[in-house]
């Protein structure tokens, strides 16, 4: 996620209030409420263990392609690559399992939380970092094929799921968000040693982008980068925002609090009335039948699984918050819920609620 002219998201720690960062041994056993009171600059974290091994794998992939520029890495509040900087910021929660657990509780998912997912994002961010390192955005053919980097980033974008003019790599058809993201996504597919992009995209217009990427990166093999700036934008040590403030802003930005608009439909299907107190919870029912219901919706609509899972996650979270339980037979509820999920997934897809992550 390129960060064009990234605005500061937090104030630097004030000198008079600075205290020594706390190692994980101090806070790993704390409750969520206690953790949320900490500031980013209170966290003593380093890139080690599994996270470090994934970075090593990325660097090995870049070496295999002969690219002399290697991104540098640091921990911050989110994934991003600052405009003009050949380096990658990695979210703090990937540096410790306790923080990953907090992220899950606050956001219902941990972006980059698995090895495969983390590598996909790292390859994407490496595309931005390499483009910065070699100042590629102004090249005529780059602009001709991907579009101008000067195009403003939209707050929302409405993707075309079946378009073959873009590669598919990260969720939500992210290549369609902006020309810079299209470049980074194409780079990520090109870099992935298991993508077999020539075969997969054989009859796609996107193949032209991949062939250009292959040609462009071959021309840079062994070439020293133009930009070498080991700059770290918004490192943890410079952020005085508390984790509570961070998550409040993040939920507002990504619309995590929006599942309340499902309430009316969910209450028609489930109930929190005392007479249904002995019935199975809506959450346990949906989780138990999730695969079957999702399969039905995919079969009927041909929607991408990501879209369905996103809406399912919102509904599950809302059912948990409302304390809903079954009010009808399991078979009838499965049928009715599949219809509800179909309608809401289609609404999600066509309402433009795919928010750009900056």
pLDDT, average across residues 297-318: 77
Check residue 229 and give its pLDDT. Answer: 82
Check residue 352 and give its pLDDT. Answer: 46
% residues pLDDT > 70 (the chain): 86
Is residue 16 scored above 50 in pLDDT? Answer: no
Give, for 358, the enclosing helix (H) or strand (E).
none
Q: What is the mean pLDDT of the chain?
A: 88
pLDDT, average across residues 348-356: 51
pLDDT, average across residues 145-174: 85
Query: CA geometry: angle at 222 spanning 216 and 227, to 5°?
Result: 75
Token pair, residue 141, equals 């053919």
Measured CA to CA, the distance from residue 21 to residue 158 in angstroms comes to 42
Measured CA to CA, the distance from residue 219 to residue 339 in angstroms comes to 52
Measured CA to CA, the distance from residue 315 to residue 312 in angstroms comes to 5
- Beta-carbon contacts of 157 under 8 Å, excluding residues fewer than 6 positions away, are 176, 177, 178, 352, 354, 356
Is residue 114 scored above 90 in pLDDT? Answer: yes
Q: Which of 70-74, 102-106, 162-166 has the highest mean pLDDT?
A: 70-74
Give, for 73, the enclosing helix (H) or strand (E).
strand 72-76
pLDDT, average across residues 283-292: 91
286 in Cβ contact with 341 (< 8 Å): no
354 in Cβ contact with 76 (< 8 Å): no
Name the pLDDT band for 353 (thresholds 50, 70, 90): very low
Check residue 296 and give its pLDDT. Answer: 84
pLDDT, average across residues 223-235: 94
Measured CA to CA, the distance from residue 181 to residue 146 in angstroms comes to 9
Check residue 206 and give its pLDDT. Answer: 98
Check residue 342 and give its pLDDT. Answer: 86
- Chain centroid offset of residue 22 CA: 27
Token pair, residue 62, equals 């870049």
Neighbours of 129 (CB within 10 A): 28
pLDDT, average across residues 177-194: 97
Check residue 309 and give its pLDDT. Answer: 79
Q: What are phi and psi of 355, to 5 degrees?
A: -85, 135
Longest dimension (CA), the chain: 72
How many helices (H) and strands (E) would you count in the chain? 14, 8
Check residue 343 and give its pLDDT. Answer: 84
Measured CA to CA, the distance from residue 187 to residue 71 in angstroms comes to 14
Least confident of 159-173, 254-268, 284-298, 320-334: 254-268
Q: What is the pLDDT of residues 255-281, one digit of tens each?
A: 555 556 788 899 999 999 999 999 999
Check residue 154 and give its pLDDT. Answer: 77
* pTM as predicted: 0.76
Check residue 354 and give its pLDDT. Answer: 43
Check residue 17 and give its pLDDT. Answer: 54
Check residue 350 and give its pLDDT. Answer: 57
Check residue 259 and give its pLDDT. Answer: 54
First-to-last C-alpha distance (Å) of the chain: 6
């Amino acid at each position: 996620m390129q960060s064009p002219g990234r605005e500061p998201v937090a104030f630097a720690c004030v000198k008079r209030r600075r205290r020594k960062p706390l190692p994980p041994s101090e806070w790993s056993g704390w409750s969520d409420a206690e953790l949320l009171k900490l500031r980013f600059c209170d966290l003593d974290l380093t890139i080690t263990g599994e996270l470090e091994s994934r970075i090593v794998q990325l660097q090995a992939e870049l070496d295999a392609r002969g690219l002399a520029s290697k991104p540098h890495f640091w921990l911050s509040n989110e994934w991003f690559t600052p405009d003009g900087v050949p380096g990658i910021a990695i979210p703090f929660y990937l540096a410790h399992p306790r923080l990953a657990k907090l992220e899950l509780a606050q956001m219902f998912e941990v972006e980059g939380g698995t090895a495969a997912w983390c590598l996909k994002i790292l390859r994407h961010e490496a595309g931005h970092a390499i483009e910065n390192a070699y100042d590629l955005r102004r090249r005529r053919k780059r602009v001709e094929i991907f579009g101008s980097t000067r195009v403003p980033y939209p707050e929302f974008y409405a993707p075309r799921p079946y378009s073959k003019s873009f590669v598919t790599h990260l969720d939500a058809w992210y290549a369609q968000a902006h020309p810079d993201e299209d470049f980074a996504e194409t780079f990520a597919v090109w870099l992935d040693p298991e993508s077999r992009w020539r075969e997969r995209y054989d009859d796609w217009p996107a193949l032209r982008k991949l062939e250009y990427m292959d040609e462009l990166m071959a021309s840079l093999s062994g070439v020293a980068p133009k930009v070498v700036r080991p700059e770290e934008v918004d490192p943890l040590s410079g952020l005085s925002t508390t984790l509570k403030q961070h998550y409040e802003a993040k939920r507002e930005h990504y619309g995590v609090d929006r599942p309340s608009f499902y309430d009316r439909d969910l209450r028609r299907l489930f109930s929190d009335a005392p007479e249904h107190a002995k019935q199975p919870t809506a959450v346990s029912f949906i989780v138990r039948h999730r695969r079957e219901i999702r399969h039905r919706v995919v079969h009927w609509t041909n929607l991408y699984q990501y879209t369905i899972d996103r809406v399912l996650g919102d509904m599950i979270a809302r059912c948990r918050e409302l304390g809903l339980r079954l009010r009808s037979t399991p078979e009838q509820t499965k049928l009715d819920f599949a219809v509800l999920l179909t309608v809401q997934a289609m609404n999600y897809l066509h309402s433009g609620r795919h928010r750009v992550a900056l």
